[in-house]
Amino acid sequence: MDVIALDCNGVLMNSIPKTIETGIEWLEKFFNVKIEKKKLEDMVLYFSGGTFSEGFRKVLESLFPGGYDEEIVKRGSQELLEKMEKIYKEAEPFPNVIEVLRRLAKNYHLVISSGLERIYLEEWLRKLGVLDVFEVIYSGEDGGKGIHLQLIRAKYPGAKIFYVADSLSEMKLGDFPIGVAKNPWHQEVLLRGGAQVVISSFDKLSNALTYSKRH
């Protein structure tokens, strides 16, 4: 069987809108910077794909190319982390996630490849009732997405890997990268970045897999 490697945040877990809202509030509170929602959404597209802290550092570097006060980050980091933990614990799945995962598990090896910490992934998937459909979970503790891919290839030698994610950096991973984006402009960015196909939501994944057999 082939492998479907799935990012969680933004693909299965509908946590990005709340993450963006929290980021906007945090930046205004600790850096006195107002940032438009669309701008931060674009930054998530370009800078996510690793751990939250890695992505947030890239956002700060983009906003403050001349450098920023590390002491401010230290003062506000605990508050930000606590808010992010709450988001991960309370996030809802995208529509039909449970049904789609259980159907796909009959014909594919399902693997999680996420920058989130394992404790959040397992807790959320268990709460959703789908922890059992995943054969392996690779988290932020296992290294970056490139390392995850190496581990997947070692575990499933010869299998075709469909890599399903929502950030630009992930569109060159696997044998058939599938982007997930609702925004038409974001879809175009992912396609230009290497996605073989882009779907507007996770419940369209079966269509993308059918497309892959024709091309």
Residue pair 101/131 in contact by the 8 Å Cβ criterion = no
Domain co-membership, 26 together with 83: yes
Q: How many CA atoms lie within 13 A of 56 on its CB side?
A: 19
- Last residue in a domain, options 71, 90, 109: 90
Domain co-membership, 102 together with 57: no
CA distances from 34 to 25, 57, 146 (A): 8, 17, 34
Q: Give the C-alpha separation, 187 to 180, whole Å.
A: 7
CB atoms near residue 168 (< 10 Å): 20
Question: Which three-class secondary structure state does DSSP give residue 76?
Answer: helix
DSSP 162: E
Q: How many domains does the chain have?
A: 2
Q: Which pLDDT score is estimated for 215?
A: 61
Domain co-membership, 7 together with 35: no
- Last residue in a domain, options 75, 90, 105: 90
Which pairs from 134-139 meet CB under 8 Å and 24+ separation? Answer: 134/110, 135/109, 135/110, 135/111, 136/111, 136/112, 137/111, 137/112, 138/111, 138/112, 138/113, 138/114, 139/112, 139/114, 139/115
Buried b (16+ CB within 10 A) or exposed e, 90-120: ebebbeebeebbeebbeebbbbbbbbbbeeb
Domain co-membership, 107 together with 195: yes
Domain co-membership, 111 together with 7: yes
Domain co-membership, 81 together with 107: no
Residues in the chain with pLDDT < 50?
none
Q: Which pLDDT score is estimated for 51?
A: 87
Domain co-membership, 133 together with 182: yes
Q: Give the C-alpha separation, 74 to 204, whole Å.
A: 41
Domain co-membership, 205 together with 183: yes
Q: Which pLDDT score is estimated for 30?
A: 94
Domain co-membership, 58 together with 155: no
Range of the domain at 64: 16-90
Q: Give the C-alpha separation, 10 to 5, whole Å.
A: 14
Q: Give the C-alpha separation, 47 to 63, whole Å.
A: 12
Q: Which pLDDT score is estimated for 52?
A: 86
Domain co-membership, 82 together with 141: no
Domain co-membership, 106 together with 179: yes
Q: Give the C-alpha separation, 5 to 177, whole Å.
A: 9
Domain co-membership, 135 together with 84: no
